[in-house]
Amino acid sequence: AVVSTQSTGEREDLTSAYKYAEGSEKEREVQQKVAHFSSRKEWTVKSTSRDVEVEIGRETALLGNDLEIPIEIRNTNDSSSRTVSVSAQVRCSAYTGRTDSMSPILKTVHSVHEVSAGESDTVTITVPPSDYLKKIKAGSVINLFLQIRVQETKQVFATRESFNVKKGSGVTIVCSSKTVKQYEDFDVTVSYTNSSAAKLTRCHFYLEGPGIRRSKKLYCGTVQANSTIERKISLSAHRMGERTLLVKFCNSKVAKATDQIQIAVEEAEATEII
């Protein structure tokens, strides 16, 4: 099982902070201790050969492109081949990782592979954009549920991995002046480049900042593939000091993109306040 939390722009893997690595000696010691004190005496920890190693490539897809998840299977046994069965399912879930029977299934894979002694084989799961574009929502995470079983040794590898789908190149903010006076209007130009092959719908910029007047939502409608959207707005600040203007680009497909700039606000003259 994987333990993760939502971080800026992507999910952060915290698995190593909560449990020992799968197949490690420490994990085996914990399993044996649990078995010793368990009231279910019929449950035992069976010693199995772990000569097959699995590595999953970390994939972050650009919206509109294929999502490719490479799974490398290595047979560390130098004298015998291994027959490996792979069962995998790719699903779309909320950013919290929660999935249920109603979650869209993007891909299901069942295959058997013969891995020669001392060799490796790579299984690549490909999800084309036509399979996920209409199923993902803002904040969605793509989860891989994987189980690998070695027929000769009965070794089982099971895990769940999360993958993100990113938008284009991000938000750009241009301010007419980085130093302004209280209550003085200044222009801010915000833009977003959608460098993916998919159009984004129900798009808007949201500008906000403590001490800056007239926080605003700027509607953009639909942003076509491989295009740039730009909006301009006049703002003013009523508090002195270093102020942060945060800009978010939101849409109906994937999590928002954000950027921010610092603006120095100086005290206005008495005549200017009047």
* Segment 173-199, tens digit of pLDDT: 888 888 888 888 888 899 888 877 778
Lowest mean pLDDT among 14-23, 146-155, 172-181, 202-211: 14-23
Q: Give the pLDDT of residue 10.
A: 61
Q: Does pLDDT of 9 surpass 60? A: no
Q: Does pLDDT of 272 surpass 60? A: no
pLDDT tens by residue, 122-142: 999 988 877 877 777 666 778
Q: Give the pLDDT of residue 180.
A: 87
Q: Does pLDDT of 47 surpass 60? A: no
Mean pLDDT of 265-271: 76
d(CA 102, CA 263): 46
Mean pLDDT of 83-110: 80
Mean pLDDT of 77-98: 85
Mean pLDDT of 94-103: 63
Cα radius of gyration rounded to whole Å, the chain: 26
Lowest mean pLDDT among 35-49, 109-123, 140-154, 158-172: 35-49
Beta sheet of 52-56, edge-to-edge order:
52-56, 67-75, 120-127
d(CA 238, CA 264): 12
Q: pLDDT class for 3, splitting at 50, 70, 90?
A: low
Lowest mean pLDDT among 31-45, 56-70, 205-219: 31-45
Q: Give the pLDDT of residue 62.
A: 67
Q: pLDDT class for 148, splitting at 50, 70, 90?
A: very high
Q: Does pLDDT of 53 surpass 80? A: yes
The mean predicted confidence, pLDDT, of the chain is 80
Q: Give the pLDDT of residue 274.
A: 47
